[in-house]
Amino acid sequence: MSSNEQHILIVDDDPVVLKSLKDLLAIRGLDADTAIGGREAIVCLDQKDYDLVLLDLQMPYVNGHDVMTHIRQQNMDLSVIIVSGETSFDAARDACSQGAYDFLRKPYATDELIITINNALKEKQLAKKNQLMQDQLRESERLHRYLVNTSPDIIYILDPEGNFTFINERIESLLGYDASELIGKHYTLLVHNDDAEVARYVFNERRVGDRASRNVELRLKCKDDNTARFFETRALPIELSSMGIYKNEENPKKRTYLGTYGVARDITERKLAEETINFQAYHDLLTNLPNRALLRDRLSLAITQAKREEEMLAVMFLDLDRFKNINDSLGHVIGDELLQQVSTRLKSCVREGDTLARFGGDEFTLLLPKITKGQEDIRKIAEKINDVLRDPFTIDDNELYVSASIGISIYPRDGTNMDNLIKHADIAMYHVKDKGKNGYQFYSDDMTTPYFQNLSLETGIHKALDNDEFHLMYQPQINIKSGEIVGVEALVRWEHPEHGPITPAEFIPFAEETGMIVDIGHWVLRNACAELKRWRDAGLPEIRMSINMSARQLAEKDIVKRISNMLKDYGIPGHCIELEITENTIMSEMDSVIHKLKELSRKGVNIAIDDFGTGYSSLSYLHKLPIQTLKIDRAFIKELNMNNSGNSIINTIVAMAKGLDLNVIAEGVETQQQLDYLHEIDCHEAQGFLFGKPLPADVISQLLIQDPYSIPGAENGIPNSRHRTH
């Protein structure tokens, strides 16, 4: 700071003295103001900040002492050098006791005066600098304190014993403690019991720099009162960084350890986000069940454990039967709701330690580790699953029936690695589907791998149509009262040149998805009509030909024309044909479907609802449709129980059909008891292995030739199982 920036005031009642002093200072490069007498001096001092005043003591009216009193009273921060003619020691002492910097007697030695002035100015300058520094320091400390206390992190200092010597105010909002109550307390007070070991390392950190602890995760305990923010969890996840604090930091040999400084960051939100992401990565969002990834994880773990403990484990592959129907006809919202309800019921079947996962779509997988009683254990669970799904599900006033096909593989018998176990459970599941769904089956080596697992179905089907790999089989439909064959259902078969027979269950759903069912359907229609014509031409008794029609095929614009052309081409009257349509086919495009069905009906063609009872039980649409027949799905027949009232579905369908004047065909009749029951409740017709599996055309014509044109040996109108055809 140059002296120019310092302001000097010369006060004297003698203008000559004033001038000579001002000149003297000017020569030394010091600029100064002047005031004649004490009164003017006070005016000057009040107007401007001075650093130094050269003050005469003896002045009339307002003397030098009065000026000094004023300076003191106004708390002016300046130095006063008395330049006075007063020679007494007392005067000097008084002046100094009033705060004068120095006392110079007139006449003064110029050099002495200048030196004194310079010293006073220098001291003043230093004092000013000092003050500035102190102000800055205070300000920075205030700022620092502010930053520390408003920091989102907990900041603390521990002494070498681990007791808090400082902790910022953040601790209040995060853990519910008052910062002051923790001073002197040991850090362990705050640490979650399970994290004591980790905490010991981080909180006692002595290292500094790169080697110090960084971002170590642990949990702190909240104070036990309800004001704490995280009172539900009572623990706060944090990320802690800490380092040692030393005196003489620069000199490693002499430095002394003072304690630890640490910063703890609240990572609750991040943890929650991580947990959510983690959950989502390993769970199915619709049902909250573990997903495929988590199942694979658990299965691989369970296999390792089973290997070590020489135990068995089981994998169940579970596929809902006809779920696609529900999804297609009632929509995804109801489909989703159904999946949720199904998974809740399934959960009730599993034991602790089992993993029920949603594998995708309507597929579930159940991992059963620690099988002790062998197949019996598993059988019980599989039966329980089939059982809990038996009661209808109610969704939005719809009563929905679902069942599940369950395939089971066992470690180590059916596979020792994950993929084999899953694959074999899957194959076993397909065998259940093949055998009429709703049940369970253990894998066995003689089960063949479903075709589509090996080959591309799409090209396969195209080739099959070109190469005549499809053929039709015909399953008799019997009038229960008379035992007569009244019709046959045409069922398509695929004889693959390499893979052998491929069941409709394996390729029809795929063909429906891809639309190839349309071509297959036309092929079936034409061939079934051609066969019927041959029987008619041969003079065989008139029977009805039932043909399955898929939704995609019925959606074709020219389907009605195509069918009526076909009838014309083969000379078949409409009433000899019955088209089997599933409920979901009708429901998905009700308006256009009704229109087409009515046209077909006008041409005499019969319409049957296939697999009735499985789509959903909203029956209100029945009377709107031009239908003649209901085919009760074989799942219901399978469950027919003579002593049980659980036959209510069948009873209801038969009674309802009677009311609507519809023909009823029971599908999948396999036992005499089932047939007896159906007879008792006046069900009209039956179809099933009891009377015959789907048969080649020539076998059918043989059967029809026999007189009476019924299955031979029918007694009391009811065909006996002795006379089953195969």
User: How far is 187 from 247, CA to CA, in rounded Å?
Assistant: 22
Q: Which stretch binds Mg ion (CB under 5 A): 11-19, 57-65, 94-102, 606-614?
A: 606-614
Residues 409, 348, 412: CA angle, nearest 5 degrees? 15
Q: Stretches 414-422, 429-437, 572-580, 615-623: which one binds Mg ion (CB under 5 A)?
A: 572-580
Segment interacting with Mg ion, rule: CB under 5 A, options 92-100, 215-223, 544-552, 570-578: 544-552
Q: In the block, which residue shows the tokens 């604090």?
A: 245
* Full 3-state SS string of 459-496: HHHHHHHHCCCEEEEEEEEEECCCCEEEEEEEEEEEEE
Scanning 97-105, 202-210, 508-516, 662-670 for contacts with Mg ion by CB under 5 A, the matching segment is 662-670
- Taking CB within 5 to 8 Å according to partner kind, which of Mg ion, ligand C2E, none is near residue 435? ligand C2E
The least CB distance from residue 580 to Mg ion, in Å, is 4
As measured in angstroms, the least distance from the Cβ of 585 to Mg ion is 12
Decide whether 124 or 631 has the Cβ nearer to Mg ion. Answer: 631
Do residues 603 and 572 touch, judged by C-beta distance below 8 A?
Answer: no
Distances (CA, A) of 1 to 117, 129, 304, 540: 16, 10, 82, 129
Among residues 521, 537, 536, 490, the alpha carbon closest in space to that of 585 is found at 521
- Least distance in Å: CB of 325 to ligand C2E? 11
C-beta of residue 68 within 8 angstroms of C-beta of residue 50: no
What CA–CA distance (Å, rounded) separates 724 from 689?
A: 8
What is the contact surface with ligand C2E in residues (CB under 6 A)? Answer: 435-436, 475, 491-492, 503-505, 508, 517, 521, 524, 548, 550, 580, 610-611, 634, 667-670, 687-689, 694
Number of residues counted as binding Mg ion (CB under 5 A): 5
What track of x and - describes contact with Mg ion for positions 665 through 704 (by CB under 5 A)? --x-------------------------------------
Amino acid found at 602:
R
Residues in Cβ contact with 336 at an 8 Å cutoff, skipping those fewer than 6 apart? 286
Contact in structure between 628 and 607 (CB atoms under 8 Å): yes
| Minimum distance of Mg ion from residue 637's CB (angstroms) | 11
The answer to whether the beta carbons of residues 411 and 312 sit under 8 Å apart is yes
Is the CB of 260 or the CB of 475 nearer to ligand C2E? 475
Query: If binding is defined by CB under 5 A, does position 610 make contact with Mg ion?
Result: yes
Region binding Mg ion by CB under 5 A among candidate stretches 202-210, 310-318, 477-485, 609-617? 609-617
CB nearer ligand C2E, residue 153 or residue 362: 362
For 387-484, strand residue ranges (E) read: 393-395, 398-400, 404-411, 439-442, 470-479
Structure-block tokens of residue 675: 């047939």
Question: CA–CA distance from 629 to each of 480, 529, 605, 609 (Å)?
Answer: 15, 20, 12, 6
How is residue 718 annotated by DSSP? B
Q: Please identify, using beta-carbon distances, which residue of 259 and 476 lies nearer to Mg ion.
A: 476
Task: Find the part of the chain contacting Mg ion (CB under 5 A) among 49-57, 244-252, 311-319, 579-587.
Answer: 579-587
Q: Which is nearer to ligand C2E, 392 or 504 (CB)?
A: 504
Least distance (Å) between residue 693 CB and ligand C2E: 7
Smallest distance, ligand C2E to C-beta of residue 491, A: 4
Residue 237 preceded by cis peptide, ω within 30 = no
Q: Is 578 in the site for Mg ion (CB under 5 A)?
A: no
Pick the closer one to ligand C2E by CB: 282 or 510: 510
Nearer to ligand C2E, 41 or 491 (CB): 491
Q: Which is nearer to Mg ion, 341 or 617 (CB)?
A: 617
261 makes contact, choosing from Mg ion, ligand C2E, none, with CB < 5 to 8 Å by partner type, with none
Residue positions counted in the chain: 726
Task: Find out whether 494 and 469 touch, Cβ atoms under 8 Å.
Answer: yes
456 Cβ contact partners less than 8 Å away, ≥ 6 residues apart: none
One of 13, 531, 583, 611 touching Mg ion (CB under 5 A): 611
521 binds, among Mg ion, ligand C2E, none (CB under 5 to 8 A by kind): ligand C2E
CB of 526 to ligand C2E, least distance (A): 11
- What is the C-alpha to C-alpha distance for residues 371 and 259, in angstroms, rounded to an integer? 57
Which has the closest alpha carbon to 167: 245, 312, 264, 234? 264
Cβ closest to Mg ion, residue 405 vs residue 548: 548
Packing angle, helices 332-347 and 375-388, rounded to 10: 140
Query: Hey, which residues between 438 and 477 contact Mg ion (CB under 5 A)?
Result: none
Instruction: State the Cα angle at 640 between 639 and 643, rounded to 5°.
Output: 120
Of 350, 229, 211, residue with least CA distance to 290 = 350
CA-closest candidate to residue 122, choices 185, 193, 51: 51
Please identify, using beta-carbon distances, which residue of 50 and 451 lies nearer to ligand C2E: 451
Per CB under 5 A, the segment of 34-42, 208-216, 499-507, 603-611 that binds Mg ion is 603-611
Give the shortest CB-372-to-Mg ion separation in angstroms: 41
Nearer Cβ to ligand C2E (212/473): 473
Q: Which does 508 bind (CB under 5 to 8 A by kind): Mg ion, ligand C2E, none?
A: ligand C2E
What backbone phi and psi angles, to 5 degrees, belong to 167? -155, 140
**Residue 56 or 580 having the CB closest to Mg ion:** 580
Helix (H) or strand (E) holding 79: strand 79-84
Q: How far is the CB of 440 from ligand C2E (least distance, A)?
A: 15
- Pairwise CA distance, residues 633 & 636, whole Å: 6
Among ligand C2E, Mg ion, none, partner that 504 touches (CB below 5 to 8 angstroms by kind): ligand C2E
Q: How far is the CB of 722 from ligand C2E (least distance, A)?
A: 17
Nearer to Mg ion, 505 or 681 (CB): 505
**CA-based R_g, the chain, Å:** 51
The residue from 6, 63, 325, 548 that contacts Mg ion (CB under 5 A) is 548
Read off the tokens for 125.
């300058």
Q: What is the 3-state secondary structure (H, E, C) of 613-649?
A: CCCCCCCCCHHHCCCCEEEECHHHHHCCCCCCHHHHH
CB of 527 to Mg ion, least distance (A): 16
Q: Which is nearer to ligand C2E, 284 or 667 (CB)?
A: 667
580 binds Mg ion (CB under 5 A): yes
Residue 63 in contact with Mg ion, rule: CB under 5 A: no
| Collapsed DSSP state (helix, strand, coil) of residue 504 | helix
Tokens of 1: 């700071």
CB of 545 to Mg ion, least distance (A): 12
Distance (Å, whole) CA 235 – CA 220:
5
Q: List the single partner that 492 binds among Mg ion, ligand C2E, none, CB under 5 to 8 Å by kind.
A: ligand C2E
Which is nearer to ligand C2E, 450 or 694 (by Cβ)? 694
Interface with Mg ion (CB under 5 A): 548, 580, 610-611, 667
